[in-house]
Structure 1
Amino acid sequence: MELALVDRVRTVLSRETDLGVVFKTIVEAVAQTFHYSHVTVYLLKEDELYVQYFVGFEQVASPVPLTSGILGRTARTGEPVFVEDTVQDPDYIHTAPDIGSEVCVPLIDQQTVVGVLNVESTKGNPLTGADLALMQALSEHIGVAIGRARLYSEVEASEARYRNLFEQLNDVIFTLNPQGVITYVSPAIERYTGYAPEELLGHAFTMLMDQQDGPVLIGRVQQMVAGSTTPFEFQMRTKDGARRWVRSSARVITDEQGTVEVHGVLIDLTDRRRMEEERIKLSKLESLGVLAGGIAHDFNNLLTGILGNPSMAEIILNPDDEAYKNIQNAEQALMHAKDLTYQLLTFARGGTPIKAPVGLQSLLPDIAAFALHGSRTRCEMTIAPDLWQIDADAGQITQVLQNIIINADQAMPNGGLVEIDASNVSFETRRSPETAALPDGPYVRVVIRDS
């Protein structure tokens, strides 16, 4: 019977890796086979013993210090203890009525005590030396099983910890088989592509690639599967058809069984590429600004020389002469050209406008006259006599208003009427959809209508 019990327990322990099942199997098998009334198993954690499973007791002491009781003595010394009469042993801790004898054996794994197996019996059914020998025989298998189960639990915990780490990474971790089929992909893939990991498992890695890239990328994947560790960049196709730039780095791994897999990582480069494109644009704008500044400076010098001639002609000509008016128109056009050079210089300085108080009541008539010069379009203008000044770059506001008036004129090829209305307004509580985004305060409103 003893051999059958040992064999039964050994069979269970050899295949079981769950410590809870191991302890339950041990305690119940020992109690049922030999009709032991009270059986407990404890695990040692630091300097205390913690109960794992028991039968026969309403409750047991836990934790038990190594300095306390027969349990503590067994774990502390690593030696089995057989107590024929519990009344005579000063270390006995009373836990149940009418207990007469006790066998306590250490559970040892790799020469280290990891717990104790304890059997107690009533006075009418005393334990013997044969019970001690049986528990010692069982304890060898139990200690090994505990060590194996603990190791398995540690491996599981380590695997869960690293899996959790992979799953929290922003980068995408993936594995492929030798055919380039995805065998694992971390949850980060859904954040970038919209595909859940399970949607990609079993599909070719090229599923994530833009088909327009064609054979080049397919060749890259084949090289990766063949063992190439050279990173490469490509546009990853998302579930909704968008594109994201990524860099793929991978290496071939062969395990002890000879199984070959590609382990790799995808790093999202979309934002980095976008920033690089913006940097290039800014660099080009800076170069363009330098060029514009140089042209504006030279052009301004030419205009300054040219402007001297109309001024001299106005001195010579009679104001009533028709040529005098033409000279004035030419001078006005040259002044507008000079304003354009100032706008170019503003752009060259980074686009910051040169703001100053501007009175539109004197500016609007000149702008309209210049924009409609030679046109069949008439202009009617209504300007509030108390029109407020505005804080603006005179050159830029002139260009804006002039372009609007020219657009209105071009919309009427056979001529028509352009109406310009300038008035003061204050936005505080009443707003239209067009002015909803403006802060409260005083404004000058200019309305330009064509017929």
Structure 2
Amino acid sequence: MDDSTKSKEQLVRELHVLRQQIVALESKEVEPEGRGVLIHRGFKPLLVDREWAVMHGNATQEILSMATILPLIAPDDRERLEYYTRLHLSGYEAPPYETYQGVRKDGSRVWLESRLTVVHGMGEPAIQVTAVDIAKQHDMDHWGPESEARYQALVEQSLVGIYIIEDGRYRYVNPKFAEIVGYTPEEITTQFRQGLELVAESDRALVRRNVQRRLQGEVDTLNYTIKLVHKNGHGVDVEVHGTAMEFQGKRAVIGTILDITERKRAELALKVAHEHLEQRVRERTAELWVANNHLHQEILERKRAEEALKKSEKRYRDLFENANDIVFTCDLSGQVTWMNKAAERLSGYTRDDMMQMRGLDVVAPEHRDFASRMANEKRQGLSETTTYEVAIVAKDGERVSLEVCTQRVFENGEPAEVLGIGRDITARKRLEEHLRQTQKMEAIGTLAGGIAHDFNNILSAILGFTELSLNEIEPEHDIRPHLQEVLAAGFRAKDLVQQILAFSRQNSSGHRPILLAPLITDTLKWLRSSLPSTITIRTHLTAPAGTVSANPTQLQQVLLNLCNNAEHSMRATGGVLDVQLESVRIKPEHLVRYPNLQPGAHLRLIVRDTGSGMEPEIAARIFEPFFTTKSSGEGTGMGLSVVHGIVTGHRGAIAVESVPGRGTTFQLYLPQLDELAAEEETPLEPELPRGSERILFVDDEEAIAFLGQSMLSHLGYQTEVYTRSDLALAAFASNPERFDLVITDQTMPSMTGEALATAIRRIRPNIPVILCTGYSHVISSERAKALGFDAFCLKPLLTQDLSETIRSVLGDDPEDQRTRV
């Protein structure tokens, strides 16, 4: 016998049982007099007797015509009765008796004790409510001894706590009330002089106020929640329903309390029961549907399966097509069988194009062997999931870096194809490369700073003593030209140190607002004469008023370096050198390629040539120090690294693009200023200032100390020289007033110049101090001024610079120093 036949037989048996229940209901005896009976389903009345209707002040027909009996229940009691009704219908344990207030037709209320039971045989389960008017308990003549005993049993066995308070004391509590607070009824009615003693301190004022309001007739009924104190000390949250009444001739309050904790537990149980009931209903509905419509259901299920399959296919197709990452499949020979829109977008090839190609066809040449090895390992099953990085060449020639993850796909236990996902990591690779380049340049910059410090000390001696020797010999002396060559070489070495510092990005002196277009024009005019006639210079300066904060000498050096490189690449074949200047606005999306820049207005300088160009691997290294492709003797490899250092020091960025055989383009970005550039003034030939003051000169290099003494003596000053800062401090402390000025080196072994100046000014706060250094990563001109130094000199020291600095600190009149306090 199949399931369909069994279900039909079961339905027949259930219908027979229902008919028997209907007969039993029709023959049910009427409840005894004094009790009212109502049967409802979902609070819609199905049957009501006259006694229940009279209790509520209505006719039976009026009640049966109502859509719901909830208006006949006090609003404060509706939720509780609905809750316990659901418990009864669900088959879970619930209080059989409930106390609530009924609402009569005239609006008055009546306290009722009701018994809830489930009745069957009326199609679906219903609730029978058997109600007793509580107020009639005082009319013993009406109830009689039997009724009084029955009502007493009803109250004593109630699952709701019932109490009567008169004159502030408990006159009666039922066993349930006593159980809730942990006392016996006798203890409550005899030991507690005040009813409030069972109430938590925080709620006593509320209870006192509500009792008075009821006794004074302000309200008929109050419902609220308070905390009672259990005998063992813990708190019990209860819901209180109370009303005023006459008790033994006095005004009293009768009410009920309900332990809310059990209600919450019951609510949870009701929820579970409700879900269980819904599940049972769904199961029975499904069984009935199968039993009566087996064939029809089979068709519907098939349609649902087909629709679900279509939705599933669409869902996965949407995921496949709209993913941001590349998703592709290849057969085991490497032939592309499918790919999504992201693959088309990044590769530039259509799906039809790629399905005629192997995956390796778009891989960059230098990565093909590696990608082929990964594919072979995948086909041979040496690894289930493989992740690796590879570069592809798009249809337009652009390189795209991908992080690829591949996995074999099986059909019937056999490998059928390879599924791959590729993520575009081009921007990340650029950032990583930029970070490596930045770290490399910073490391070399730190080394360059150290070299500059030592080299400046050496140059100080060379230039200083050469200047002194030239001052000591006659203009027609035979040795004078040789010394002048030494001096010129020293100045070239000094410029080289400035280039090293520019490369290290630690020399930002001389920055001021300048117009970039005139600087470009002047530089190209000077450059024209040094270029072969086969090279044509073209300029296109669309930002003639563009202003930047820069060192003009350094920017001129940048332009010369770029143009010299362009000339070298076109030297054999000739070509066009194109120089452009334009205003651009850097947007946030540009910062992926130029992370050093800030969004806003910039000037872009473009230097383009039509020379031989460069391979990508060479273009990636051109800013590295000492890297060059020129022949021995044609270049040092420092030109473009210095350019990079200068541009970075100007808060700018530089990028290169090159195609072998087609030329190279450099793009240089500098922040544009809103202010106008100041006009330059032509300086007059300076005179050599002199003086006669007493100077303390400190430098740990003996040659520099001797040079300082010689230069200052030549300028007319009285000089004491020390090569140890502690000895210099001791000499100053012995007679602070005999010195008018202190000149100290910064980097010294026992005590730095900064520390020496601080110690000297503790002795004599107003002594002027000049700080000198070959180079220091902790001291700059701005920091020296912030620390209170009167001036800052960068080695090598030249007589002209030193004399002007001394006079700017001491004043024009040497006698002014005599009046210092």
Give the TM-score taking structure 2 as reference length.
Answer: 0.28
Higher RCO (Cα < 8 Å, 6 or more apart): 1
Q: Which of these two proteins has the greater Rg computed from alpha carbons?
A: 2
TM-score (norm: length of structure 1): 0.48
